[in-house]
């Protein structure tokens, strides 16, 4: 007798395996009609078709679509305030980096984040996570990066740890003190970089407060040389490298980060063939952020070229108060179809298995297979084409996290 059986699944659609899928395998979705899933101890124990076994609890999916829970591998989840006042500037055509250079952008969020208490930040992020769960996200990465001093960066990492312990969405923590140079260090970049390398990274690593180290390698933020030093210091402290690369200017960030063994390079809007080849060689996952391109009114990452070159493509929301104030991976899938020209099958792998691999969770999340966590979505949709065809609405009907119905 199983703990739970989800019965009467019209169509079960999932990628398979514990590793990211590249090339034509990215679109290789297994589809099972008239399916059921059994769950024991929070894990998937069997997936079958036809008549289902008995269980202590049965949930009738009503003939709907089932997929794995969505995994968001790139968010800036914890921050104070919002930046709706930048909308008018954006509409007047003021570029993102100009807003930052004028002390707005990331820096204005830093001011509000420093002023907020740990409790306020926790409550605000918990409310966001609850909405993300309703939108189908069952695992989520969260970066620091709006503190930009020792105390406030660690404050953000502690908030993420506490959120992970107290609400259903599994969180994966990334230290990103290298988001931009804070105002106190204008004119002393080296001083801030040393603070990151000598104080913040060792504290994040030894305190078990982060698993990854990310850096915004960009004009107006950190150079490739500075970023490499920071990523190497992260590795020395046990933090795996990630990089915000090729978001705005092509300064060689993707090649730099791949050579440092980056698990993922993220954004990649202006990534060229050299960057794609560097990711292929190092086995780096391309974490594309389609909603950010939309919101910055910028170009789109060459995701199709990446797939053709054999680089696994994941999608993240990039949820943050400036360049992407949405937390909908469903929207990312819509944009992925229309702007990256990816198929619904490729998009589903991008927000499940490949996204899980981008945060080193593909052994436990990202597919509906025995042994994985029972993170299961039931959709108000008959198939995955329908998920990508409808947009601007939330099509999630029910959410199971580790076998518990949470939405
Ligand atoms: O991923 N690019 C850097 N960081 C964020 C934006 C942060 C902000 O504007 O507050 C991003 O786009
Ligand atoms: Fe980002």
Q: For the purposes of burial, counting CB atoms within 10 Å of the CB of 193, is it exposed (0-12), middle (13-18) or buried (19 or more)?
A: buried
Asked if residue 103 has pLDDT above 80, the reply is no
Evaluate whether 267 touches 306 at the Cβ level (below 8 Å).
Answer: no
Q: Tell me, what's the pLDDT at 373?
A: 98
Evaluate whether 65 touches 384 at the Cβ level (below 8 Å).
Answer: yes
Q: To which H or E segment does residue 71 belong?
A: strand 70-72
How many CB atoms within 10 Å of residue 189?
A: 13
Q: Tell me the CA–centroid distance for residue 238 and ligand 1, in Å.
A: 24
Q: What is the mean pLDDT of residues 194-222?
A: 97
Q: What is the mean pLDDT of residues 377-404?
A: 98
Apex 283 CA angle, 13 and 173, nearest 5: 75
Q: Tell me, what's the pLDDT at 358?
A: 99
Ligand 1 closest atom vs CA 218: 2
Task: Report residues whose beta carbon is within 6 angstroms of any ligand 1 atom.
Answer: 76, 105-106, 109, 216, 244, 247, 292, 318, 320-324
Q: For the purposes of burial, counting CB atoms within 10 Å of the CB of 349, is it exposed (0-12), middle (13-18) or buried (19 or more)?
A: buried
In this prediction, residue 13 has a pLDDT band, given cuts at 50, 70 and 90, of very high
pLDDT tens digits, residue range 348-360? Answer: 999 999 999 999 9
In this prediction, residue 102 has a pLDDT band, given cuts at 50, 70 and 90, of confident
In this prediction, residue 324 has a pLDDT band, given cuts at 50, 70 and 90, of very high
**Residue 1 neighbours by CB under 8 Å, 6+ apart:** 54, 55, 56
CA-CA distances (angstroms) from residue 163 to 71, 120, 122, 188, 360?
A: 16, 12, 7, 34, 19
**Residue 88 neighbours by CB under 8 Å, 6+ apart:** none
Shortest-distance Cα residue to atom 6 of ligand 1: 323
Read off the tokens for 312: 């696994």
Evaluate whether 405 touches 59 at the Cβ level (below 8 Å).
Answer: yes
Q: Tell me the CA–centroid distance for residue 69 and ligand 1, in Å.
A: 25
pTM tops 0.75, yes or no: yes
DSSP letters, 93-157, are T--HHHHHHTT-THHHHHHHHHHS-HHHHHHHHHHHHHHHHHTTEEEEEEE--S--SHHHHHHHH
Percent of the chain with pLDDT over 90: 97
CA-CA distances (angstroms) from residue 279 to 13, 287, 300, 332, 353?
A: 28, 11, 18, 22, 18
Q: For tokens 């959120």, name the residue.
A: 163
Read off the tokens for 50: 């036809």
> What is the maximum alpha-carbon separation in the chain?
69
Q: Tell me, what's the pLDDT at 96?
A: 85
Q: Tell me, what's the pLDDT at 101?
A: 84
Closest CA to 400 of 373, 379, 377: 377
Shortest-distance Cα residue to atom 8 of ligand 1: 322
Nearest ligand by distance to the CA of 295: 1
- What's the rounded Cα separation, in Å, for the pair 407 and 398? 5
Mutate which of 108, 109, 322, 324 for ligand 1 pocket (most atoms within 8 A of beta carbon): 322
Helix 150-166, helix 118-134: angle, nearest 10: 40
């Amino acid at each position: 007798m199983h703990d739970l059986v989800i019965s009467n699944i019209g169509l079960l659609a999932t990628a398979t395996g514990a590793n990211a899928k590249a090339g034509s395998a990215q679109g290789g979705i297994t589809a099972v009609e008239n399916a059921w899933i059994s769950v024991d101890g929070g894990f998937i124990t069997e997936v079958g078709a036809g008549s289902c076994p008995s269980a202590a609890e049965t949930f009738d999916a009503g003939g709907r679509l089932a997929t794995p829970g969505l995994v968001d591998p790139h968010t800036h989840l914890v921050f104070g305030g919002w930046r709706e006042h930048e909308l008018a500037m954006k509409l007047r055509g003021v570029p993102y980096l100009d807003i930052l250079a004028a002390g707005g952008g990331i820096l204005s969020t830093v001011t509000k984040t420093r002023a907020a208490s740990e409790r306020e930040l926790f409550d605000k992020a918990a409310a966001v996570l609850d909405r993300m769960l309703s939108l189908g996200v069952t695992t989520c990465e969260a970066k620091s990066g709006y503190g930009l001093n020792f105390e406030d960066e660690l404050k953000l990492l502690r908030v993420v740890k506490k959120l992970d312990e107290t609400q259903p969405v599994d969180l994966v923590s990334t230290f990103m003190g290298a988001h931009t140079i804070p105002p106190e260090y204008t004119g002393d970049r080296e001083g801030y970089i040393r603070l990151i390398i000598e104080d913040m990274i060792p504290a994040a690593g030894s305190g078990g407060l982060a698993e990854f180290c990310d850096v915004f390698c960009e004009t107006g933020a950190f150079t490739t040389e500075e970023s490499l030093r920071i990523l190497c210091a992260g590795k020395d402290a046990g933090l795996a490298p990630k990089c915000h690369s090729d978001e705005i200017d092509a300064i060689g960030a993707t090649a730099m980060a791949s050579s440092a063994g980056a698990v993922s390079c993220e954004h990649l809007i202006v990534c060229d063939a050299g960057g794609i080849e560097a990711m292929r060689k190092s086995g780096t996952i391309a974490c594309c952020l389609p909603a950010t391109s939309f919101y910055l009114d910028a170009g789109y990452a060459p995701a199709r070229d990446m797939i053709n070159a054999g680089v696994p493509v994941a999608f993240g929301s990039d949820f943050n108060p400036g360049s992407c104030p949405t937390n909908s991976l469903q929207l990312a899938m819509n944009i992925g179809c229309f702007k990256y020209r990816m198929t619904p099958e490729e998009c589903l792998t991008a927000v499940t298995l490949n996204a899980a691999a981008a945060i080193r969770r593909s052994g436990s999340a990202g597919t509906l297979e025995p042994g994985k966590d029972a993170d299961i979505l039931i959709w108000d949709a008959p198939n995955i084409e329908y998920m990508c065809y409808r947009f601007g609405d939330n099509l999630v009907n029910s959410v199971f996290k580790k076998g518990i119905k949470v939405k």
